[in-house]
């Protein structure tokens, strides 16, 4: 049975339609790579799956086992076992990282974890993710370096033990050694009963975590699926073949940008 089933999903943000009919399903045990050019809706899909309030679903459905995900709040989704490691984890001043982690663990388990057991678990998890213990006791993401924020997301994943894991560019900002550490943790956590949907622009991460499948999002739709050779092809040649071979026009972000540039007459350009 599919762990997650997304059917004809349309979603908009700020009144602009970003997802234009996503159909995807994930079996348990799968690690799926999600690729696509900048600004084509990958993070939007992950945010919609998690229930970010800025994104409005206008059509379609998402089922987790037999549960209608769209009818649930973010915390209900997290309790079910959905987990999102964000592309840009926000700083939360005033919220202690360890307190936050402990509260999150407690909402996912029937019995509250004791202080002793929590700090023991936290100590071994920080060692595994190779972050200083001090990072776990500071305010959540406040003043963390880019790489520390990403590793803290992985620390959360390890401690919460989610069922369906969404990783949004977890490798961005990580040094080479940290990518290896994060991949080792992902490989340890993934298993028969779990699912992973992983966004990255780089083959290096995928070489280390061995996705079972790759899907490509263009213009808010999944246009192509394949195996790891698809990741290699994109890594080496970019997305141009999608236009030339599949006849799909890849909308560019620049379309929306101001056309006036240095060296052109601003007055002439603006009255065009």
Residues that bind Mg ion (CB under 5 A): 43, 87
Beta bridge partners of 254: none
Out of 31, 41, 125, 170, the residue judged to bind ligand ATP by CB under 6 A: 41
Q: Which two tokens stand for residue 201?
A: 């622009």
Q: Are 155 and 131 in contact (CB under 8 A)?
A: yes
Q: How far is the CB of 72 from Mg ion (least distance, A)?
A: 23
Asked if 166 touches ligand ATP (CB under 6 A), the answer is: no
Other CB atoms within 10 Å distance of the CB of residue 12: 18
Q: How far apart are CA 133 and CA 126, in angstroms?
A: 6
Q: How far apart are CA 180 and CA 176, in angstroms?
A: 7
| CB nearer Mg ion, residue 46 or residue 155 | 46
Q: How far is the CB of 43 from Mg ion (least distance, A)?
A: 3
Asked if 42 touches ligand ATP (CB under 6 A), the answer is: yes
| CB nearer ligand ATP, residue 54 or residue 120 | 54
Q: Which ranges of the chain does DSSP label H, i.e. alpha helix?
A: 42-50, 74-80, 97-108, 115-129, 133-137, 146-160, 176-189, 203-209, 228-237, 240-246, 266-271
Q: Which two tokens stand for residue 232?
A: 């290699």
Q: How far is the CB of 169 from ligand ATP (least distance, A)?
A: 6
Instruction: Find the part of the chain contacting ligand ATP (CB under 6 A) among 31-39, 59-67, 132-140, 206-214.
Output: 31-39
| CB nearer ligand ATP, residue 25 or residue 87 | 87
| CB nearer ligand ATP, residue 14 or residue 134 | 14
Instruction: Find the part of the chain contacting ligand ATP (CB under 6 A) among 41-49, 67-75, 98-106, 113-121.
Output: 41-49
Q: How far is the CB of 34 from ligand ATP (least distance, A)?
A: 9
Q: How far is the CB of 127 from ligand ATP (least distance, A)?
A: 31
Asked if 150 touches ligand ATP (CB under 6 A), the answer is: no
Q: Are 235 and 203 in contact (CB under 8 A)?
A: yes
Asked if 97 touches ligand ATP (CB under 6 A), the answer is: no
Who contacts 195 (Cβ-Cβ below 8 Å, separation ≥6)? 3, 4, 26, 27, 28, 29, 30, 31, 32, 163, 164, 165
Asked if 44 touches ligand ATP (CB under 6 A), the answer is: yes
Residues that bind ligand ATP (CB under 6 A): 13-14, 18, 36, 38-44, 54, 87
């Amino acid at each position: 049975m599919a762990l997650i089933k997304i059917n004809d999903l349309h979603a908009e943000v700020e009144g602009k339609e970003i997802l234009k009919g996503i159909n995807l399903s994930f079996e348990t045990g799968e690690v799926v790579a999600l690729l696509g050019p900048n600004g084509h809706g990958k993070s939007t899909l992950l945010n919609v799956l998690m229930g970010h309030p800025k994104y409005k679903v206008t059509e379609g459905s998402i089922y987790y086992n037999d549960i209608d995900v769209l009818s649930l709040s973010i915390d209900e989704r997290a309790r079910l076992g959905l987990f999102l490691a964000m592309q840009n984890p926000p700083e939360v001043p005033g919220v202690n990282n360890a307190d936050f982690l402990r509260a999150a663990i407690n909402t996912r388990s029937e019995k509250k974890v004791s202080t002793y057991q929590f700090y023991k678990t936290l100590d071994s998890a920080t060692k595994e993710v190779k972050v200083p213990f001090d990072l776990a006791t500071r305010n959540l993401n406040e003043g963390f370096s880019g790489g520390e924020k990403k590793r803290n997301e992985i620390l959360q994943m390890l401690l919460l033990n989610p069922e369906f894991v969404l990783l949004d560019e977890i490798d961005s900002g990580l040094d080479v050694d940290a990518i290896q550490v994060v991949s080792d943790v992902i490989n340890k956590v993934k298993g028969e009963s779990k699912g992973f949907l992983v966004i990255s622009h780089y083959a290096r991460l995928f070489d280390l975590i061995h996705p079972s499948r790759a899907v490509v999002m263009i213009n808010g739709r999944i246009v192509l699926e394949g195996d790891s050779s698809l990741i290699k092809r994109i890594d080496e040649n970019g997305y141009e073949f999608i236009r030339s071979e599949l006849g799909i026009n890849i909308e560019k972000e620049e379309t929306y940008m101001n056309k006036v540039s240095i060296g052109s007459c601003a007055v002439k350009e603006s009255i065009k």
